[in-house]
Amino acid sequence: MGIVQTLLATLVTLGLLVTIHEWGHFWVARRCGVKVLRFSVGFGKPLWLRKGRDGTEYAVAVIPLGGYVRMLDEREGDVPADLRAQAFNNKPVLQRMAIVAAGPVVNLLFAVLAYWFLFVWGVTSVVPVVGGVEAGSLADKSGLPGGVELLEVDGHSVQSWDEVNLRLAARVGESGVLQLLAGEPQRGLAQSYQVKLDRWSVDLEKESPISALGIQPYRPEVPAVIGTLSEGGAAQAAGLMAGDKVLSINGHPVSGWMALVEEIRQSPGQTLSLGVQRGAQRLELEVVPAERVDDAGDRYGFIGAGVQAVEWPPEMLRELRYGPLDAVWIGLRKTGQMIGLTLDSIGKMIAGAISVKNLSGPITIAKVAGASAASGLESFVSFLAYLSISLGVLNLLPIPMLDGGHLLYQFIELVRGRPVSEKVQMLGLRLGMAMLLSLMALAMLNDIARL
């Protein structure tokens, strides 16, 4: 994945989500009769600026991490007498609340639209068949066997590993009983399994809830066939070529790709003799794995070779496709599930049940945007929907400086019949700014640590 592709994917992602967010504010403001002075995607000096027939300036600015809609407002400058009726501050409180809420609401509606598109287009997923269960794990203690298909998690039907993961993620940090229904639906067999949780801790940076539970998803057998080679890597230096099948290491048979990887990881700096099948030829090649160090400071070997892709059995793939009307309900349900999971994660992070190390900043967003774009349309649209939900939910939190903070002040005004005092608003602004800057700094530190 190239830097240019990552940069373009990031700009498209942020540009699109910021534009629709600010368009929500803009559209409702115009419908409420508020004069909009500028619609800007990005902050700072404009790279492009044009004044429309409506008198609004449209701009694209140099810093793409946000945007704004500047409206006529007596609190921000003098307003001519003939334009006071078009000032934001002179509009009824319910109209001002609608204008403020429109941005994040449009982000949530965009997610519904994105999911609707995916489910009409068709989503290919892997059937959640258990390949194996780790000995001594929570899943093993429940009696869950390998070879069965997961049908329900906590009473919710699941049709893919993605759905299983999301349902399990909702239980991270909790205690109680996790209910799994698994079996062989083709034969009409199903059995319930109870997994006992006790403040279930999952390091989401290093493992998924599925693997933390001890479940190993089914994967087709992957032979030790070289698919790709890194330029200048140890594998290329040893004479390995794409299509080579590694049969043995130091005379010992290799059962598959993972066995090959494990042997190489355990042999940094050591000379390994590989028995290789190349077409009709049988070759002996020597490779010396380069030494690398992981996050824990442990040494491991690396040769710069990737596996050749294998075909999945057709019966292990499932296409989820719905009609245009059914997809509306599915999109709404998926968006609601993701909103609930986002709010639940924020609450658990505040309570300490989930580590703040899971906060991500612009570097992680850029990496995921680039990776999802490289993986295809389905992955990229899914990422757009998820990020749009995160943006919408975050902006609705009752934190001064965010849309939710403004909504809180306006709700208080609606109840009391008069605005919150300037002194209180300024105090809230300082607290909100300190909170947001702290969160941004923490997210950036997490990004840098991940690098």
Give CA–CA dist 224/304, Å, rounded. 14
- Going by the DSSP 8-state scheme, the letter that residue 48 receives in this structure is E
Q: Which amino acid is at 109?
A: L
Of 188, 170, 192, the C-alpha closest to 338 is 170
Buried b (16+ CB within 10 A) or exposed e, 352-387: ebbbebbbbbbbbbbbbbbbbbeeeebebbbbbbbb
Give CA–CA dist 275/247, Å, rounded. 5
Q: Examine the residue annotation and report whether 22 is marked as an active-site residue of this protein.
A: yes
- Going by the DSSP 8-state scheme, the letter that residue 357 receives in this structure is G
Q: Kindly name the residue from 22, 149, 163, 263 that is annotated as catalytic.
A: 22
Yes or no: say if 168 and 153 are a contact pair by the CB < 8 Å rule. Answer: yes
Torsion of CA 115, 116, 117, 122, to 10 degrees: 90
Of 126, 262, 146, 315, the C-alpha closest to 215 is 146
- Cα–Cα separations (whole angstroms), residue 310 to 222, 242, 254, 420: 7, 14, 17, 63
Yes or no: say if 179 and 170 are a contact pair by the CB < 8 Å rule. Answer: no
- Which are the catalytic amino acids? 22
